[in-house]
Structure 1
Amino acid sequence: MSADLLPSTAIRFAVPAVDWRAAIQAAGDALVAGDIATDAYTDAMIKAVEDLGPYIVIAPGFALAHARPSEQVRRTGLSWVSLAEPVEFGSETNDPVDLVVGLAALDHDEHLQVMAKLAGVLANPDTLARLRASNDPEQIRSALLG
């Protein structure tokens, strides 16, 4: 995966969020700041959780905010948002969430490719712990993008 997949402008640390909607909004704002997606894509990410529940909370404390590929996506990319305080998404097994990664993809294939890469990195508990403890955008980029 190329370095522009996760621009430094899309990485945020210690972001305050009062609830899951604010947490997804923060990830969406970071996607917008990275010129990856539009504000309408952020709205679609929030609507997906409203409609389908907290399916994006895929590991303890970790949410992968995303929506379907659409014209609201400018290019495939990620955002990385660590929260100042964990928030509840409604996941029985993986709440509370303190890390939200936003994913926007131009098409289904790119969506799956990025998700597979993320899964490989984040499945390693040591790597995830290091990433959670980091406040260094380059360390985050290096670990996620290889």
Structure 2
Amino acid sequence: MELLTTSRLILQARPAPWSDLVRQSAALLERDGIVSADYVEAIFASFERNGNYMVIAPRVLLAHARPEEGALGTGLSLITTSEDVALGDGAGVPVRLFFTLAAADSSGHLDLLTRLAEVLVDEASFQELVTTNDSGRVLQMVNPS
């Protein structure tokens, strides 16, 4: 099952405020009925409470909230940007990959997270993910087999 689809993928977007990119990434899931509007608000409430813990690797943000906060299904969206975007005020933490993950339960997304970790720790794969315009390649790289 593909958790990331071409309809939930935007590659090499122009830089924008980080919060706009997170909202846009989450809106891709909302449009597909994977999350409710409450889920998007829960993501931002979590940022306020917990800071930048959703930055899971250098230049990688994995926005998410708890399943009971509006996850209606399991899915992933991704926006890549053509330049680093500062997360937070001032210089902030640089981010290029804006993922949003929704999980309807505690286990349906674990294979996806394992696959994502494999891609992010491999420098060549990470660089390809950051720079590519090929949506088919991104789906091949990120979705579990």
TM-score (norm 2): 0.86
SS at match of 2:84: strand
Q: 1: distance between equivalents of 2:120 and 2:30?
A: 24
Structure 2 unmatched ranges of 5 or more: none
Which structure dedicates a bigger proportion of its chain to helix?
Answer: 1
Alignment length (residue pairs): 142
Cα distance 1:128–1:40, how it changes in 2: closer, same or farther (>3 A)? same
Structure 1 unmatched ranges of 5 or more: none
* Aligned partners of 1:86 and 1:97 also within 8 Å: yes
Aligned to 2:36: 38
* Aligned partners of 2:38 and 2:69 also within 8 Å: no
Deviations 1:31-73 (A, max 9, x none): 1233321222111111111110000111111111111112622
What's the offset of the Cα at 1:121? Answer: 2.1
Aligned to 1:26: 24
SS at match of 1:106: coil
Aligned to 2:80: 82
Q: Which moved more, 1:134-143 or 1:67-76?
A: 67-76
What's the offset of the Cα at 1:14? Answer: 3.1
Cα distance 1:7–1:71, how it changes in 2: closer, same or farther (>3 A)? same
Which structure dedicates a bigger proportion of its chain to strand?
Answer: 2
Q: 2: distance between equivalents of 1:86 and 1:115?
A: 23
Question: In the TM superposition, what are the counterparts of 1:37-76 in structure 2 within 5 Å?
Answer: 37-70=35-68, 72-76=70-74
Q: 2: distance between equivalents of 1:96 and 1:79?
A: 19
TM-score (norm 1): 0.85
Q: 1: distance between equivalents of 2:15 and 2:68?
A: 26
